[in-house]
Amino acid sequence: MEWICLDFINSDCRNWRGSGQREDRLTKPEWWQYFANKWELQVPLPSDPKLLLALRELRQQMRNVVEAVAKGEPPDAGDLHGINQAIAAVPSYRRVVHQPDGFRVEEVVLGEGWDLVMGRIAASFAELLADADLRRLKICENRSCLWVYFDESRNRSSRWCDDKTCGNLMKVRRFRERQKNKGEGD
Ligand SMILES: [Zn+2]
């Protein structure tokens, strides 16, 4: 299952191959195009400094909560408050509609623009926390990657965001460590 909130958290990404240097993709047109297309967002690349600050703050608050969850610790109340504020900025109401097969309650969302996008990201994170199996919410064990992902492996055993990239890299690193230690032992 895909979550807009996780995609968004990972816009603050690292060079997984080695340096672990951070790269903020929020202001990168290629990344923004991918993100906006994928989630059908009707907003342009963020450029306003105040907006960027708010987006980065929300992203950090969500990452902090993921880190707390991964450690089995309670989240910081301030982080949760920030996430809830983003949700609250988008008013919505429910109404009953009639269809041939019966009645259905639907939620009508009134927000627009960036408030709507941030509200949607924050609401998706809220749903993930409340509804998903949080044992599957993980942070890649490659310390220079730290990608946040949802582990969909059958026995929840995955340790890396991607076996082919970070997984292989970590295996090669461990192998080299062992070789080095062997060499020193002789
Ligand atoms: Zn990774």
Tell me the range of 16-20, 160-164, 182-186 where mean pLDDT is highest: 160-164
Phi, psi of 137 (to 5 degrees): -85, 115
In the reported structure, the alpha carbon of residue 20 is separated from the centroid of ligand 1 by a whole-number distance in angstroms of: 10
Query: Using a CB cutoff of 8 Å and minimum separation of 24, what contacts does 162-166 make?
Result: 165/16, 166/16, 166/140, 166/141, 166/142
In the reported structure, the alpha carbon of residue 176 is separated from the centroid of ligand 1 by a whole-number distance in angstroms of: 19
Taking a C-beta distance cutoff of 8 angstroms, is the pair 160, 11 a contact? no
Taking a C-beta distance cutoff of 8 angstroms, is the pair 150, 1 a contact? yes
Per CATH, the number for 4-185 is 1.10.3300.10
In the reported structure, the alpha carbon of residue 19 is separated from the centroid of ligand 1 by a whole-number distance in angstroms of: 13
List the single range of 12-21, 134-143, 164-173 with lowest mean pLDDT: 12-21
List the single range of 8-12, 24-28, 60-64, 176-180 with lowest mean pLDDT: 176-180
Report the C-alpha gap between 146 and 143 in whole angstroms. 6
In the reported structure, the alpha carbon of residue 148 is separated from the centroid of ligand 1 by a whole-number distance in angstroms of: 8
Q: At 103, list the tokens.
A: 């009645």
Q: What is the pLDDT of residue 186?
A: 54
Which one, of 15, 2, 117, 134, lies nearest residue 65 by Cα?
134
In the reported structure, the alpha carbon of residue 129 is separated from the centroid of ligand 1 by a whole-number distance in angstroms of: 21
In the reported structure, the alpha carbon of residue 133 is separated from the centroid of ligand 1 by a whole-number distance in angstroms of: 20
Mean pLDDT, residues 86-104 taken together: 96
By CB neighbour count within 10 A (0-12 exposed, 13-18 middle, 19+ buried), where does 141 fall? Answer: middle
Q: What is the pLDDT of residue 116?
A: 95
pLDDT digits (tens, 9 = 90+) for 11-45: 998 877 767 788 899 999 999 999 999 999 989 99
In the reported structure, the alpha carbon of residue 115 is separated from the centroid of ligand 1 by a whole-number distance in angstroms of: 30
Considering the entire predicted model, what is its pTM? Answer: 0.86
Which one, of 49, 14, 11, lies nearest residue 30 by Cα?
11
Q: What is the pLDDT of residue 167?
A: 86
